[in-house]
Structure 1
Amino acid sequence: MDYLKSALPSQIMSERGSNLVVINPGSANIRIGLASQDTPFNIPHCIAHHTKQVPKRNVQDQMLNSQVTTAQHMEREKAYDVIASLLKIPFLDEEPSGNSFINSIVLNAQMGRVDGYNPHIIRKDLPFSWTNVYEEVTGSSSQSALEISNKDETSESLDPKEGIDLKEIGVSNRKLRKFICGEEALRIAPTEPYCLCRPIRRGHLNISQHYPMQQVREDLRAIWDWILIEKLHIPRNERNMYSAILVMPETFDNREIKEILSLVLRELCFGSAVVHQEGLAAVFGNGLSTACVVNIGAQVTSLICIEDGGALPSTAKTLTFGGEDISRSLLWMQRHHQTWPQIRTDMLTKPIDLLMLNQLKESYCEIREGQLDAVGVVHSYEDKVPPGSHRTRLTALNVPPMGLFYPTLFAPDVYPPPPRTWFKDYEDMLEDTWHIDFARRPDMSDTFYPNVNGGLPMWESYPVFSTKPKKEENIGLADAITNCILSTGRIDIQRKLFCSIQLVGGVALTNGLVAAVEERVLHAIPPNEAIDTVEVIQSRTNPTFVSWKGGAILGVLDLGRDSWINREDWIHNGVHIGSNRKYKDSYYLQAQAMCYMNS
């Protein structure tokens, strides 16, 4: 403890984090790195397999795609008009005035931006390049000959005809890669014999009749193993000297968490592992102890309240929309307003189009009143031709992010959530632990494993809830935040949480989102509640990585490691009542960590 107080934080992270791998998996991206790093690798969470299947599917899930019904389409248009009235812009089927349109054309020519110009935004107008799907040929005689032929000292002595033959030999020996991970997998041309798989979708393992559990696990293992070897340079035979910190989303169910633990300890061969909640880690990543954490991911949004370093399980909520839904609505609006070029853009079956739309969203979308147009470069990725560029006017760019508050704008024209029947778990790993009397080591105090007879005082006023499946709600972000905080039931903690809202995830970087959340949450609070102040806390670090950073801090400060699971223990015994190591133990933090963070 004296060491923690005397040493510099950077020194502690460097010394104690060099053998800790922090893993924060998400539906679209995985954030992974050593705890001693300042920022993690942020890698698309996908893998493309070489396939000979006929007919070929570009994306494994495209057979599950659902069509927008007439009622859903009408709800989407209604939501647009509601948002338009709030932002003081024309309705969906109402054309802007002629003068404003002419002015926009003039501004287009002058500055490339119609309105809401933000000099801090770095626009990326270059197209993505197609991935090379062939393996690097090394060690073959043809490759050696090609290398020799390229040397200056021998280039003049070689016969031109022989040079051509050598190149033909090199091309004929090219071999397709068995699998491709990360962003490269998203940039594979549709004509190539590959099928893209996403092992996590909408906050759950992506299990379906087309994607069995065994394949999901194998894909997770392949992606994570590739990252550990290629990015972190940790070979398999050295991983027993490393420990894994799993920063898991609140959306994950009991069995999913156990499958991930088995993957890390069995297949990836880490020496030990610990599981922390994403919301809890986000609070510590910002140096806080109490907050309402709103994690807006790519495909789901999760909320949970944290009080004095402990998560309140009854406040957890999940909303089935995220950043990719904003990108989808952006495309729908441009097509409706006929501003999108005459190109075949399909973000569901052409992943490279999703990359482009996400880039446009991050560069141009923001929340503010008034007409918000821009001139952007849209790229077309057609079969067997180089990417094309189309400079076009984009309109109503402040409407898509407002769909967070009016989710019917995000018509469900994407793959539905995975079926929930698989996740029934009779060996409940998430059962409530504060009312169970654990077997304790003699040197441990009664406060270390809290229960109803003794432990953390903050839990004494809370009822014990039986474990239930995660509840997904179809409400807007402001209503979800309000319901989440009011469900705590105490006015003192409610006032504190309404002034301590923390936005996490890449969408939190959207310009104007903080002010919109504060305004709309304040209006969503019932008039009979004695609350008149709402404040979003400014993040001290990049909101995309704050949960990962919090996981690194928790791992470094966890001196006793009593909640860590050793590889041998997991393989032989698993986690069960009386083992002193249960997932929900991550709700409680050791006294020395809290003392250090608050000092």
Structure 2
Amino acid sequence: MVGKKSGRALLREEGLARTDNHLDLTIWPQVNMINQKNYYTEYLKRDEQYLALRTQDEERKESMKRDAINEDKARSGIDVNGNVVDDDAMLRVVEAHGSKIIVIHPGSQNLRVGVANDALPKTVPMVIARQARQNESEENGGEPEPKRLKTDDGEWEEPERMFGEEFSEQFQDMSFNLKQHMRANKRRLLPNSKELVVNYNRRTTPETISEHNDPHRIDWTELPPDPRKAPPYICGHAALRIAEQSRPRYKLYWPIRAGCLNEKDYSRKNAVWEDFFTIIEEAIKTQLGIKTRKDFKQYSCVFVIPDLYERTYVTTILDTLMRDFEFKRVCFMQESLAATFGAGWSAACIVDIGAQKTSICCVDEGLCQEESRINMKYGGADVTELFMKMMLYDHFPYQEINLRRRYDWLLAEELKQKFCTANEAEISVQLYEFHLRASGQDTRKYTFKTYDEVMLAPMGFFRPTIFNNVNKLDGRRKLIDRSYDIYDNSPNDPTSTAQTTVLEFAEKNLPPPINGSQPNDASNGLSAPSAVTEKPAIDSTPRPLNITRLTDTHEPTPRSSAANSPQPEGTPQPGRASPGPGAGDALGGLSGTSADAAAQKTAQAEHRDRILPLMPLDVAILESARQGHRGDDRKARDFYGGILLVGGGAKFPYFTSMLEERLRGLLPGYPKEILIGEVPRELDPMLVVWKGGSVFGRLSSSGNDSWVHQREYNFLGSKLLAQKCMWNW
């Protein structure tokens, strides 16, 4: 009989014994148990533990300490610098609130800059003149602007055919519609008014006035006799008064074009940014008396940006203001929100008509309604050119006018501001005069007659296809690429439903671009007058839109990164390659992986960049308001009854009345609710946005957490904007 074996022997013989091979049971890291003594922590539960809030609190304490010291010195008869002052100057010792805050609002034509406690800003043309072999009027063979047609013999066409058949048809159609409207309003019309204007302008000749007899002669910018000692650049008003035949030659550059950076007239990205910041720096030094950059450290800066901004534009400005200008702190503010601050309104539909762009946005309780933002590429400069084309069509006596020449451009702006109107009662044959002043020439006095051109030119806002829309998209994305998300490598510049509707309208009513890059000119059917003058039915309730082809797709959670790390600029990356021909047809068909989604969004962004956003002003206002109220009747009445017209592009008499009439015709359900308000306190509409920025900058630090400080920026960079901006960055 075999003896009984022990359990240990059985485990060893059967192979069931437990052995330790020193391997972990799992590859997942093991988390130790929580130490109960430290369970109740206060991590990130107090304001002092947030860098932004801690910096804000430290700044408030420092400001209170500084004010207390200044007040003590004022009582003892000593100023801030330690000098003894008399009793009359003691009240001025304490630093004025807002005197250390600079407010900057750049535009396509003018730059507004000033200290926050100033009543009005300084206005400086957003232009810089640099030495060149030719000036802007001598390039391209000296072709005049606006462009004019020539005969087969090389001579200029007759004025009636100077700008092509399309322009002639649209001009005559607008004139006919205006006559019909005036007859309906019982206005008296002379049957031969047009002939009287043409016949007078055809035979009039200028009168020459010697320069010493001209009391309003212009002081031109003086240059050194030795061309080698001439300055490399000249900014602002002085740049516009440089003689055309100066030695050396100077060429004008406008770094902002149609509300965004001018990539058409530059060959290098750094040159655009250099001119942009040089104009701002020179304006601060000459207009505000801050002589050196070392003094910038004592100042804060409020910078006003467009509603539909580009992220690269904002981040580059922030980096330069912080690292190069070394401002103490910087904050950004959107134009429409700044307009409500300047006007003192809590809810409004802001219509900002500038020189080369028109933006519309609804603002409610201190926030821009994101889906209501619209940016269109026309403005007051287009009205100036259109007015000159209409006058040349009617045999304007100064046929040699060329808007590329500086003095001719200034003359055209002056004529538009003096004579254009939106009042039908003023439409009759009128006799006017103007003086042409050019460097090195005697003054010439012209007399001319006008009829309906003075009103038809501002009416171009309601028929934007009559504007010269050729080459407005030239150079787009040539130098500065769009911004891309670091996680899924897709474009992340903001857009809106209202802007998408504008693009769809333009794509539907305008012909397709030539070779998929530029819009067609008038000779290719750009005008489409019947499509633009048609008034679509717009109601007060939201309606479904077919915008899936152009609207970005938003997902609840971000996808995994398509790349491990950002690549150098210019390196081909997934999702950034050009979609190629036919990409516009495939915008809605891409789905699946993260790379496909990024490629889809990139194709959508490139398709948007190829469409020139144009829509009649009245239709665009109602579309923006509709996207702003989204069916809320209270908000609808606030926006329709709170339309505020700002900017200098539409400062024509009775223009608000004309706009109100057209809006009520488009929306008959709100006959009394549609109102266009006046800017309060008799403030110039051009300065309302800057004024709002100054009001915002003077808010107490405890109530304004939008400031980006130097120490924060050194730690976190532009990522701070996600917490500092008053909108969804």
Q: TM-score, normalised by structure 1?
A: 0.72
Asked if 1:585 is matched to 2:704, the reply is: no
Over 3 Å counting, the alpha-carbon distance change for 1:584 and 1:372 in structure 2 is: farther
Counterpart of 2:643 in structure 1 is 501
| 8 A Cα contact 1:302 1:317, kept in partner | yes
Counterpart of 2:412 in structure 1 is 357
Structure 1, residues 192-229: CA drift from partner, whole Å, max 9, x if none? Answer: 20010000000100013744221111101211111111
Separation in 2 of the partners of 1:75 and 1:367? 19
Over 3 Å counting, the alpha-carbon distance change for 1:77 and 1:265 in structure 2 is: farther
Over 3 Å counting, the alpha-carbon distance change for 1:198 and 1:299 in structure 2 is: same
Structure 1, residues 116-142: CA drift from partner, whole Å, max 9, x if none? Answer: xxxxxxxxx97662632415xxxxxxx
Counterpart of 1:549 in structure 2 is 691
Separation in 2 of the partners of 1:278 and 1:63? 36
Query: Pick from 109, 116, 121: which aligns with 1:35?
Result: 116
Counterpart of 1:408 in structure 2 is 465
Separation in 2 of the partners of 1:352 and 1:33? 27
Structure 1, residues 141-200: CA drift from partner, whole Å, max 9, x if none? Answer: xxxxxxxxxxxxxxxxxxxxxxxxxxxxxx559832221111221222221200100000
Q: Match of 2:315, SS?
A: helix
Asked if 1:567 is matched to 2:710, the reply is: yes
| 8 A Cα contact 1:128 1:187, kept in partner | no
Separation in 1 of the partners of 2:372 and 2:393? 39
Q: C-alpha displacement at 1:584, in angstroms?
A: 4.2
Counterpart of 1:198 in structure 2 is 254
Asked if 1:302 is matched to 2:359, the reply is: yes
Aligned residues: CA RMSD: 3.7
Relative contact order, CA 8 A, sep 6+: which one is greater? 1
Aligned amino acid, residue 392 of structure 1 = F
Counterpart of 2:511 in structure 1 is none
Aligned amino acid, residue 20 of structure 1 = I
Over 3 Å counting, the alpha-carbon distance change for 1:63 and 1:202 in structure 2 is: farther
The 5 A counterparts of 1:138-149 are: none
Separation in 2 of the partners of 1:285 and 1:22? 13
Q: C-alpha displacement at 1:414, in angstroms?
A: 6.7
Q: C-alpha displacement at 1:271, in angstroms?
A: 1.8
Q: Match of 1:516, SS?
A: helix
Separation in 1 of the partners of 2:636 and 2:659? 17
Q: C-alpha displacement at 1:464, in angstroms?
A: 11
Counterpart of 2:421 in structure 1 is 366
Separation in 1 of the partners of 2:144 and 2:482? 22
Unpaired segments of 5 or more residues in structure 2? 1-59, 61-91, 148-162, 201-213, 486-490, 496-550, 555-600
Quick check: 18-27 or 503-512, which moved more?
503-512
The 5 A counterparts of 1:334-353 are: 334-338=391-395, 340-347=396-403, 349-353=404-408
| 8 A Cα contact 2:108 2:258, kept in partner | yes
Over 3 Å counting, the alpha-carbon distance change for 1:197 and 1:172 in structure 2 is: closer
Separation in 2 of the partners of 1:314 and 1:64? 41
Structure 1, residues 259-278: CA drift from partner, whole Å, max 9, x if none? Answer: 22223223322221100001
| 8 A Cα contact 2:407 2:438, kept in partner | no
Structure 1, residues 532-551: CA drift from partner, whole Å, max 9, x if none? Answer: 52101110121110000001
Separation in 2 of the partners of 1:404 and 1:552? 30
Q: C-alpha displacement at 1:409, in angstroms?
A: 2.8
Question: Share of identical aligned residues, percent?
Answer: 24
Q: C-alpha displacement at 1:330, in angstroms?
A: 1.2
The 5 A counterparts of 1:275-424 are: 275-338=332-395, 340-347=396-403, 349-370=404-425, 371-380=427-436, 384-396=440-452, 397-412=454-469, 415-416=472-473, 418-420=475-477, 422-424=480-482
Over 3 Å counting, the alpha-carbon distance change for 1:360 and 1:180 in structure 2 is: same
Counterpart of 2:101 in structure 1 is 20
Separation in 2 of the partners of 1:568 and 1:311? 29
Over 3 Å counting, the alpha-carbon distance change for 1:100 and 1:287 in structure 2 is: same
| 8 A Cα contact 1:133 1:176, kept in partner | no
Over 3 Å counting, the alpha-carbon distance change for 1:518 and 1:172 in structure 2 is: closer
Higher Rg: 2
Q: Match of 1:291, SS?
A: strand
Q: TM-score, normalised by structure 2?
A: 0.60
Q: Match of 2:701, SS?
A: coil
Query: Pick from 311, 315, 319: which aligns with 1:254?
Result: 311
Give the paired residue count: 482
Quick check: 464-473 or 235-244, which moved more?
464-473
Q: Match of 1:293, SS?
A: strand
Separation in 2 of the partners of 1:219 and 1:182? 12
Q: Match of 1:557, SS?
A: coil
Over 3 Å counting, the alpha-carbon distance change for 1:418 and 1:22 in structure 2 is: farther
Q: C-alpha displacement at 1:250, in angstroms?
A: 2.2
Separation in 1 of the partners of 2:331 and 2:435? 43
Unpaired segments of 5 or more residues in structure 1? 2-10, 106-124, 136-170, 433-462, 589-599
| 8 A Cα contact 1:87 1:368, kept in partner | no
Asked if 1:220 is matched to 2:276, the reply is: yes
| 8 A Cα contact 1:429 1:582, kept in partner | no
Counterpart of 2:173 in structure 1 is 78
